[in-house]
Structure 1
Amino acid sequence: MFTAITHSQIYVLDQDEALDFYVGKLGLEVNADVEFGFMRWLTVNVPGHPDRQILLAKPGGPQMSEDTARQVRELLTKGAAGGMLILTTDDCRKTYETLLGLGVEFTDEPTEREYGIDCGMRDPFGNHIRFTQLKQG
């Protein structure tokens, strides 16, 4: 059957602002930035891992009506329809301090958990992001 997940999607209201956040602040890299006319296919990935991409999609296009897209945009603006990403890092506290210095909005400070140290933040569109320093072993 299936062998991998290659793409996941989150909604963003402004793809250029999303690039500034995901590439400029989080340090991800652009994998694809293609204009199809009806949509811009914009994906990012963790450096060195192009096999797992995040599609930064604007609500709309061929997959939904304009009325539905408007409703999704309204929910995103309210912070009620954001997606979720979980990333890993080698040093959660250092990553937290770096991103805090770049003005990233955090929802949780680094906290010891059974599985390691993790914390939470939000992107400019209300999507929830967690990053974790996993315990060894």
Structure 2
Amino acid sequence: MTVSISAVHVFVDDPDAALVFYRDTLGLTVRHEVEQDGFRWITLATASQPEIQIVLSQPHAGRSQEDGDAIAALLAKGELRPMHFSSDDLDATFEAVAGAPGAEVLEEPQSRPWGARDAAVRDPAGNLFRLEQS
């Protein structure tokens, strides 16, 4: 039996700002974009791992008002779990991400005691985004 990751969902409050960040800044490729009931889902992938899709969706899309409100509140507080990306050039990728509209730098690139070198940024929606040297 083989199991692999096919998709990861990321909540965003502004799909257009998220698209600029993930497509234009990080270079991910848009695979699908769906609009339904006033909401958008945008599916992206990296060139190096096209089989793993990142799905950007709004908190209220496909959910009850109560559940959407709860997710939106967590998103606004920056309390959703972080995403981790790796890059073969941490410094160059960090400079691009740090200069992206709406991005907030939390930690500049630094070496960690456990051997990793990484940085931390919030995307335009407030999601914690860790970037490490691959």
> Same fold by TM (over 0.5)?
yes
Residues 1:43 and 1:131: Cα distance change in structure 2 (over 3 Å): same
SS at match of 2:22: helix
Partner of 1:66: 65
Q: Structure 2 regions of 5+ residues with no counterpart?
A: none
Name the CA distance, whole Å, in 1 between partners of 2:67 and 2:98: 35
Name the CA distance, whole Å, in 1 between partners of 2:60 and 2:124: 19
Q: What's the offset of the Cα at 1:37?
A: 4.0
Q: What's the offset of the Cα at 1:5?
A: 0.8
In the alignment, residue 4 of structure 1 is paired with which amino acid? S
Contact persistence 2:78–2:126 (CA under 8 A): yes
Q: What's the offset of the Cα at 1:9?
A: 0.7
In the alignment, residue 111 of structure 1 is paired with which amino acid? Q
Amino-acid identity (%): 34
Give runs of aligned pairs for residues 1-137 of structure 1, distance below 5 A.
1-37=1-37, 39-62=39-62, 64-80=63-79, 82-103=80-101, 104-113=103-112, 114-134=114-134
RMSD between superposed Cα atoms in Å: 2.0
Contact persistence 2:26–2:93 (CA under 8 A): no
In the alignment, residue 77 of structure 1 is paired with which amino acid? A
Contact persistence 1:11–1:83 (CA under 8 A): no
Residues 1:38 and 1:96: Cα distance change in structure 2 (over 3 Å): closer
What is the TM-score with the length of structure 1 in the denominator? 0.83
Aligned pair count reads: 132
Residues 1:102 and 1:17: Cα distance change in structure 2 (over 3 Å): closer
Name the CA distance, whole Å, in 1 between partners of 2:5 and 2:97: 27
What is the TM-score with the length of structure 2 in the denominator? 0.84
